[in-house]
Structure 1
């Protein structure tokens, strides 16, 4: 059966956040921010729910890839000029972040500050998060999300930007035209992120 890509709605937040929580369970950055595997399994979805509800959804860049009504992957994009979280959005998300990370919530602030410093100033589409249901990974869901959004980006003759949290994913994004522009090294033994830029086409 074919994969369908559609915009997400508020009623999708719970389901898509669970998919993203599972997708990022073994991610180097989320492992650094929340080292206990059981805590990640139980709590990580709260972060994606808060991000989606209080920031990304209003920008119109949240999309789902489905097959037969089952979510296989989700992507959180921000349109040009919309990538920075407003103060109100941060305050609304804060209770969920505190419940998730507890005393390690400061690591999230460090991560955010470093990412902001590296973020390009030129208007662009920003892929903040993309993740597939682990048991469905390799089934084309992520590819469908990337291609659908990049078709729109190209129609607007706009650039795009992301940060890869895994070295293994850099070649994947490169196939879509993204190029590494540097490195973001996290403190306290944290992992490295690779900023990647895709020039207008």
Structure 2
């Protein structure tokens, strides 16, 4: 299937958030934060909407993908440029109430996950892939959308000689990212009985 990729903006936050919510419904980390399936289904669109509006959109680096010719969004990536993955303290304070509203009873576990990932985050400048997800609808699975989304930014990383970093919250996806040159540099065990997350680094040109 041919695709078109565009920069995410405020006009399609709701649609992109819904797609990412469906993509991450069975994710081990999200399932640990929101153990109840029905509650997770309600919480995830809110959470991704807050992530987009309060963190990622302002960088102009996050993207969504549609079938060629337009139509519904079938996937997206949330990227932060080098030096921008961690927000200034004042932005964190501004974003805290929306994040609590989005996560609700899952807030304590969400904070535990965020803190564990932040503690392991590399200091070297890099592009940070916070989120990548594609619609689990069988009509769109396996059509190359995820590959196109990854290549869109990684090709630019290679041209600029810049590394990239991600955390795979589902260990089953590690081999997929390895195909694009990412390697596991450490495993992050979320405290308090949380799941294991694979921290993955990609050298430019890998």
Provide the TM-score with structure 1 as the length reference: 0.95
Listed one character per residue, the Cα deviations across residues 128-157 of structure 1 (whole Å, up to 9, x for unaligned) are 000011102222111110011111111110
How far is the alpha carbon of 1:85 from its aligned partner?
2.1
Partner of 1:194: 198
Is the CA contact 2:47–2:103 (under 8 Å) kept in the aligned structure 1?
A: no
Counterpart CA distance in 1 for 2:58 and 2:99 is 19
How far is the alpha carbon of 1:83 from its aligned partner?
0.5
Counterpart CA distance in 2 for 1:76 and 1:101 is 19
Q: Secondary structure at the match of 1:58?
A: helix
How far is the alpha carbon of 1:2 from its aligned partner?
1.5
Aligned: 1:33 with 2:33: yes
Is the CA contact 2:116–2:191 (under 8 Å) kept in the aligned structure 1?
A: no
Aligned: 1:137 with 2:107: no
Counterpart CA distance in 2 for 1:103 and 1:48 is 16
Task: Give me the CA root mean square deviation.
Answer: 1.3
Counterpart CA distance in 2 for 1:12 and 1:61 is 15
Is the CA contact 2:16–2:76 (under 8 Å) kept in the aligned structure 1?
A: yes
Runs of 4+ aligned residues of structure 1 deviating over 6 Å after TM superposition are none
Structure 2: gaps spanning 5 or more residues: none
Is the CA contact 2:50–2:102 (under 8 Å) kept in the aligned structure 1?
A: no
Partner of 2:159: 155
Q: Secondary structure at the match of 1:121?
A: coil
Partner of 1:64: 64
Partner of 2:83: 81
Counterpart CA distance in 1 for 2:88 and 2:171 is 30
Structure 1: gaps spanning 5 or more residues: none
Aligned: 1:118 with 2:120: yes
Aligned pairs for 1:48-63 (under 5 A) are 48-63=48-63
